[in-house]
Amino acid sequence: MSEPIRADAMRASDADRKRVQDQLHWAHAEGLLDLSEFDSRVRSAWDAKTTGELDRVVADLPLPRPKGRRRVFAPGAGGTAMRVLTTIWLSASVANIVIWGLLYMTGTAVYPWWVWVAVPPGAVLGALYASGIGRPRSS
């Protein structure tokens, strides 16, 4: 019975090489590698036959941070409350501005009441957010 092949002795696929190349691109963009070292490592990655050889190409580099959307509101109760209140405020403000705009376009000179619907509650929501309520923590 033959011995099982170690993980680092497994043959590398083109997808594995591409993953390492992407990590090298990231490291170069972050200033961790100069152009000549980047070029040399990319060649080594595409010349690699095993996953162990690929691992050695990027062994001294940190893993790239995952890219994701930055949250506007925190995931907890404060963030949920601010998300709901902001949605209600935005919906009411837009509806009032549209109604006022339609009336204004018909030639009816109407007082811009939508300012009282949009500005004071918006200022309160902005002040709450600025004070940290519902805002995600900085990482």
Instruction: Tell me the whole-structure pTM to 2 decimals.
Output: 0.51
Q: What confidence category does residue 1 fall into, taking pLDDT thresholds of 50, 70 and 90?
A: low
- What pLDDT sits at residue 24? 94
Tokens representing residue 16 in the block: 């594995």
- The yes-or-no verdict on residue 4 having pLDDT over 90 is no
- What pLDDT sits at residue 8? 77
- The yes-or-no verdict on residue 68 having pLDDT over 80 is no
Mean pLDDT of 105-126: 91
- In this structure, the chain runs to a length of 139
* Separation CA 104–CA 94 (nearest Å): 15
* Separation CA 81–CA 129 (nearest Å): 11
Q: What is the pLDDT of residues 10-47, one digit of tens each?
A: 899 999 999 999 999 999 998 999 999 999 999 999 99
Cβ(38)–Cβ(30) below 8 Å: no
* Separation CA 34–CA 93 (nearest Å): 52
Of the given ranges (52-61, 62-71, 89-98, 129-138), which has the lowest mean pLDDT? 62-71
Mean pLDDT of 108-114: 87
Q: Nearest Cα to 19, choosing from 49, 55, 47?
A: 55
Cβ(58)–Cβ(40) below 8 Å: no
- What pLDDT sits at residue 139? 53
Helix or strand run (H / E) with residue 27? helix 14-29
